[in-house]
Amino acid sequence: MARKVTLGAAQVGAVHRDTPRAEVLARLIRLLEQANDKGVKLLVYPETTLTTFFPRYAGLDEDKAELDKWFEHGDLGSNDNVKPLLDRASQLGIDIVLGYGEKTDDGHYYNTCSYLHRGVEVGKYRKVHLPGNKEPYADPNMIDQLEKRYFEPGDYGFKAFRVPDLASSPDHGEAVVGMMICNDRRWAEAWRCLGLQGVELVCLGYNTSTWAPGLFGHPMDADRAKIQAQSEMQHLLVMQCHSYTNATFSIAAARAGYDDGEFGLIGCSCIVHPEGYILAQSSTMDDELVVAEIDLDEAQVGKRKVFNFGLHRQIHQYKIITEQSGVTAPPRLA
Amino acid sequence: MARKVTLGAAQVGAVHRDTPRAEVLARLIRLLEQANDKGVKLLVYPETTLTTFFPRYAGLDEDKAELDKWFEHGDLGSNDNVKPLLDRASQLGIDIVLGYGEKTDDGHYYNTCSYLHRGVEVGKYRKVHLPGNKEPYADPNMIDQLEKRYFEPGDYGFKAFRVPDLASSPDHGEAVVGMMICNDRRWAEAWRCLGLQGVELVCLGYNTSTWAPGLFGHPMDADRAKIQAQSEMQHLLVMQCHSYTNATFSIAAARAGYDDGEFGLIGCSCIVHPEGYILAQSSTMDDELVVAEIDLDEAQVGKRKVFNFGLHRQIHQYKIITEQSGVTAPPRLA
């Protein structure tokens, strides 16, 4: 009994600070149409899909109205910035995962993504691991990364959920799906929380700098090609390793290219197999569709054997993982 | 202020069921002498360094005296199977990590490794994640993996410890070191427990089958080259990813080659940088020394930035990691 399904990652190239939302939306719909041509049933879009990656700009919160332009308020289905995409996805019968800045009714701000199945939100996630800083750098040569300023850490935790009728199998087409956003993928805890819920498919969008002094400690004039290669390597490493060690498929969709012509973001959108190898990967830094047909049942192999958690995990030895957030080093020698 | 030190992994090729211990010991000392020629200050040997990987043989415990031949009892320094190696290492001023089957005075059996600094044990670890089965396979075509039968899960947990005078810096030469054994490296929890103690260097020995039906579900006649490539890829993946996400150097030493001419084990001994890239890797399946000079201070870069645990971890979201060992899936849809 196979559960076959064709998956897609919608990589989105450069989106500038002044790129009109209507233009971005048209590009997202173009990728959706391409996905439909390839038989894709689930298409994952990047983090903050609808705009450029605004946490790099200091001062947005000096004026709340200015800040709010970067966020979506209220129901996505009645939001003109999103509705045409949701409608077309429903029409085509394609599930989508969409990342966006979320402003709640009671005034909280999150870095969020939603899983939309035929227009209905069946899963929602708010980014837990916010990188970067609260305060802008004093040094004008440093690129800011103000996620800790513009967002609160997600309050939903890592909740896997079931998606009906994703795979082709008539009597067992549903899938256990989880979501995370960008930096979360570097944190084994995020993956394990989903793994402990039997996740078969992890969906992730990201904006990852090719060089970012605030994140990597490199000056602006460092060797960009080398930093880009290292960022790409590390991205693939965490996607492959954590997919393997949790016996899950994963889809990673990048915002890639040079925003505003100067802020570089890696590509490397990919679809990964539960044994840890890459099934498909983007080859450009532009808008690009990445597609792979998979059999969800292959996620069960690792779950029964090497990563049979119930047989092998020794939770009494892991206590410090949930007891302390920071480091406690062994005492210095005399 | 750099803390430079030259590290070594002592890969050991085929050791058969009937290979005399004296012959193995001579090979270990030969690798130590080579390490000395290269200026190595810490040399890591594989899991169960002194014998073949005996958990593949069923029936060893039918006769306790027969079983005990595979284990070391009492103090390593007064054990003729080990003493010549410890003495020579002390003489040369080289620290070693040695894996062995351990039988305790009160009759417990563990898969153990010791960190010996100038002949003194400054760290000890007993393998927590025992793979395989308690009962031998009924099918004679399946290779047994009876670690769950011959060993108890380690009772020490994952304890980092300080090693004095490892690096060349006169006033700050000590290092925070952790150890794990083979299958532990696939478990993010093992790495994180060490990471939360500020580990700078993880030492690991392993015996990893190129094909092992009990572990990977492959029949004996499966495509061995393909399985070997996948095992090697997965081994490097977990070493690189977990080193990166815990901002630590790591050393992995393989028992490699074809034991008894038929049981294949991967090589790929390696030394990994805290940014996740491989500094040095073995190229054979035989006895081989792998060497890299490193600066321990480079492990501090990630600990201050991307993997500054105190700044970024959200432990209240991780609770299920220590509350449940097995999977609890979301409820099935109606």
Tell me the H-state helices in B40-142. Answer: 64-68, 83-92
Q: Does A211 or A264 have the greater pLDDT score?
A: A264
The nearest alpha carbon in chain B to A244 belongs to: B234
- Mean of per-residue pLDDT scores for chain A: 93
> Would you say residue B278 has pLDDT above 70?
yes
Per-residue pLDDT tens digits for B283-303:
999 999 999 999 999 999 999
B181 vs B203: CA distance, rounded Å:
8
Annotation marks residue B268 as catalytic: no
Which one is predicted more confidently, B213 or B316? B316
Longest dimension (CA), chain A: 70
In this predicted structure, the answer to whether residue A319 has a pLDDT above a threshold of 90 is yes
**Residue A323 Cα to chain centre, angstroms:** 27
| Section B184-205 average pLDDT | 98
Residue A13 to residues A24, A51, B262, Cα–Cα distance (Å)? 10, 11, 51
Q: What is the mean pLDDT of residues A269-286?
A: 97
Cβ <8 Å between B164 and A333: yes
Q: Calculate the alpha carbon distances from A186 to A256, B102, B208 in Å.
A: 18, 36, 26
B157 closest CB neighbour out of A176, A197, A317: A317
- Contact at CB, B189 and A317, closer than 8 angstroms: yes
Residue A124 Cα distances to A156, B37, B236, angstroms: 8, 58, 34
Instruction: Report the C-alpha gap between A282 and B146 in whole angstroms.
Output: 42
Among B276, B307, B309, the residue with its CB nearest the CB of A325 is B309
Q: Which residues of B touch A233 (CB under 8 A)?
A: 276-277
Give the pair of three-digit tokens for residue B282.
């073995």
Of A2, A35, A61, A10, nearest to A205 (Cα)?
Answer: A10
The beta strands (E) that lie in chain B are given as 4-11, 42-44, 71-73, 95-103, 109-117, 120-126, 161-163, 175-181, 201-207, 249-255, 257-259, 263-265, 270-272, 278-281, 288-295
Tokens of residue A324, six digits = 């302390």
pLDDT band at A24 (very low <50, low <70, confident <90, very high): very high
Closest CA of chain A from B213, distance in Å? 10
Q: Is the pLDDT of residue A221 over 90?
A: no
Smallest CA–CA distance from A197 into chain B, residue:
B329
According to DSSP, the β-strands at A249-255 and A270-272 are antiparallel
For residues A8 and A32, the answer to whether their CB atoms sit within 8 Å is no
Q: Note the pLDDT of residue B216.
A: 45
pLDDT of res. B160? 98
Mean pLDDT on B230-235: 95
Nearest residue of B to residue A213, measured between CA atoms? B305
Q: For testing the chain A interface, which of B181, B194, B241, B311 should be mutated: the one with the most A CBs within 10 Å? A: B241
Q: Which residues pair with A222 in a beta bridge?
A: none
- Looking at beta carbons, which residues of chain B come within 8 Å of A197? 320, 327-330
Question: Is A218 a residue whose pLDDT tops 50?
Answer: no
Catalytic choice (B41, B103, B124, B127): B127
Q: Do A244 and B238 touch (CB under 8 A)?
A: yes
Contacts of B324 in chain A (CB under 8 A): 196, 315
Percent of chain A with pLDDT over 90: 85
State how far residue B15 is from chain A, nearest Cα, in angstroms: 25
Token pair 């100038």 is found at B118
Give chain A positions within 8 Å (CB) of B318.
189, 192-193, 321-322
Burial of B282 by CB count in 10 Å (0-12 exposed, 13-18 middle, 19+ buried)?
A: buried
Query: What's the confidence (pLDDT) of residue B324?
Result: 98
pLDDT digits (tens, 9 = 90+) for B66-107: 999 999 998 999 999 999 999 999 999 999 999 999 999 999
Task: Please give the pLDDT value at position B70.
Answer: 97
Predicted confidence at residue B223, as pLDDT, reads 72
Partner-chain contact A325 B303, CB within 8 Å: no
Q: Which of B196, B216, B235, B316 to mutate to test the interface with A (most CBs of A within 10 A)?
A: B196
- With contacts defined as CB-CB under 8 Å, which chain B residues touch A216? 305-306
Name the residue among B66, B165, B113 with its Cα closest to residue A333. B165
Kindly indicate the confidence band of residue A142, based on its pLDDT and cuts at 50, 70 and 90: confident
Q: φ, ψ for residue B296 (rounded to 5)?
A: -55, -30
pLDDT at A219 over 60: no
* Helix runs in chain A, H state only: 21-37, 64-68, 83-92, 147-150, 188-195, 213-216, 224-245, 299-304, 309-312, 320-323
What value does the mean pLDDT take over residues B35-42? 98
Tally helices (H) and strands (E) across chain B.
10, 15
pLDDT interval class at B213 (50, 70, 90): very low
Contacts of B198 (CB under 8 A, 6+ apart): A327, A328, A329, A330, B160, B176, B303
Per-residue confidence band for B228, with pLDDT thresholds at 50, 70 and 90: confident
Does residue A220 surpass a pLDDT of 70?
no
Neighbouring C-beta atoms of residue A2, cutoff 10 Å: 13
**Whether the predicted pLDDT of A135 surpasses 50:** yes
Mean pLDDT of A83-112: 97
Of B129, B159, B333, the CB nearest to A164: B333
Of residues A188, A216, A305, nearest to B217 (C-beta): A305
Q: Whole-angstrom Cα distance, residue B317 to residue A26?
A: 37
Residues A104-127: what's their mean pLDDT? 96
Residues of B in contact with A240 (CB under 8 A): 237, 241
* Pick among B125, B211, B234, B317 to test the A interface (most A CBs inside 10 A): B317
Residue B237: list chain A partners with CB under 8 A. Answer: 237, 240-241, 244, 276
Single-letter amino acid code for the residue at A105 = D
Contact A330 B130 (CB under 8 A): no
Of A215, A237, A314, the CB nearest to B129: A314
Reading the block at residue B245, the tokens are: 């996400």
Query: Residue A1: pLDDT band by 50, 70, 90 thresholds?
Result: low
SS3 state at A43 = strand
Query: What is the gyration radius of the CA atoms in chain A, in angstroms?
Result: 20
**Å from B32 to nearest chain A CA?**
27
Say which of A154, A192, A238 has its CB closest to residue B321: A192
Nearest-Cα distance to chain A for B174, in Å, is 8
State what percent of residues in chain B have pLDDT above 70: 96
Instruction: Determine the Cα–Cα distance for residues A82 and A97; give it in Å rounded to an integer.
Output: 12
Do residues A52 and A260 touch, judged by C-beta distance below 8 A? yes
Among the ranges given (A24-38, A183-197, A226-240, B95-109), the one the predictor scored with the smallest mean pLDDT: A226-240
In which band, very low, low, confident or very high, does the pLDDT at B211 lie, cut at 50, 70 and 90?
Answer: low
Tokens of B264: 């294949």
Q: Select the more confidently predicted residue: B221 or B184.
A: B184
Give pLDDT tens digits for A37-54.
Answer: 999 999 999 999 999 999
Band of residue A245 on the pLDDT scale cut at 50, 70, 90: very high
Interface ipTM:
0.96
Q: What share of chain B is helix, strand, coil (3-state, %, to 5)?
A: 30, 25, 45
Q: Would the CB atoms of B162 and A240 count as touching at under 8 Å?
A: no
Please tell me which residue, B261 or B193, carries the higher pLDDT value. Answer: B193
CA-nearest residue to B319 within chain A is: A322
Nearest residue, CB atoms, B312 vs list A129, A162, A307: A129
**pLDDT attached to residue B222:** 57
> What's the average model confidence in pLDDT over B319-331?
97
Between A162, A186, A195, which is nearest B330 by CB? A162
A212 pLDDT more than 60: no
Query: Does pLDDT of A200 surpass 60?
Result: yes
Q: Which residues on chain A are in Cβ contact (under 8 Å) with B303?
A: 327
State the pLDDT confidence band at A328, using cuts at 50, 70 and 90. Answer: very high
Q: What is the pLDDT of residue A227?
A: 82
Read off the pLDDT of each residue in B216-241 and give the average, rounded to a whole number.
79
Interatomic CA distance for residues B271 and B25, integer angstroms: 23
Q: Band of the pLDDT at A217, cuts 50, 70, 90? A: very low
Separation in Å, CA of A330 to nearest CA in chain B: 6
Least confident of A178-182, A234-238, B136-140: B136-140
Tokens 């927590």 belong to: B128
DSSP A312: H
Tell me the average pLDDT across B175-192: 98
Please indicate whether, in this complex, the C-beta atoms of B306 and A230 are within 8 angstroms of each other. no
Residue B215 is predicted with a pLDDT of 45
CB contact under 8 A, A162 and B198: no
Give yes or no for residue A114 having a pLDDT over 90: yes
CB-based burial of residue A229 (10 Å sphere; 0-12 exposed, 13-18 middle, 19+ buried)? middle
Asked whether residue A214 carries a pLDDT value surpassing 70, the answer given is no
CB contact under 8 A, B303 and A327: yes
Model pLDDT, residue B1 = 66
Give one DSSP letter per residue of B165-221, joined into a string: T-SS-SSS--EEEEEEEGGGGG-HHHHHHHHTTT-SEEEEEEE-BSS-HHHH---TT
A243: left (phi over 0), alpha (psi -120 to 50) or beta: alpha
A276–B314 C-beta distance less than 8 A: no
The confidence band for A172, taking pLDDT boundaries of 50, 70 and 90, is: confident
DSSP A115-167: EEETTEEEEEEE-----S-SS--SSTTSPP--HHHH-PPPSS----EEETT-S
Mean pLDDT of chain B: 93
**What local confidence, expressed as pLDDT, does residue A240 receive?**
98
- Whether the pLDDT of residue B264 is over 60: the answer is yes
pLDDT score for B170: 74
Q: Which of A161, A325, A328 has the most B C-beta neighbours within 10 Å, making it the best mutation to test the interface with B?
A: A325
Residue A213 has a pLDDT of 47
Question: CB distance B309–A326 less than 8 Å?
Answer: yes
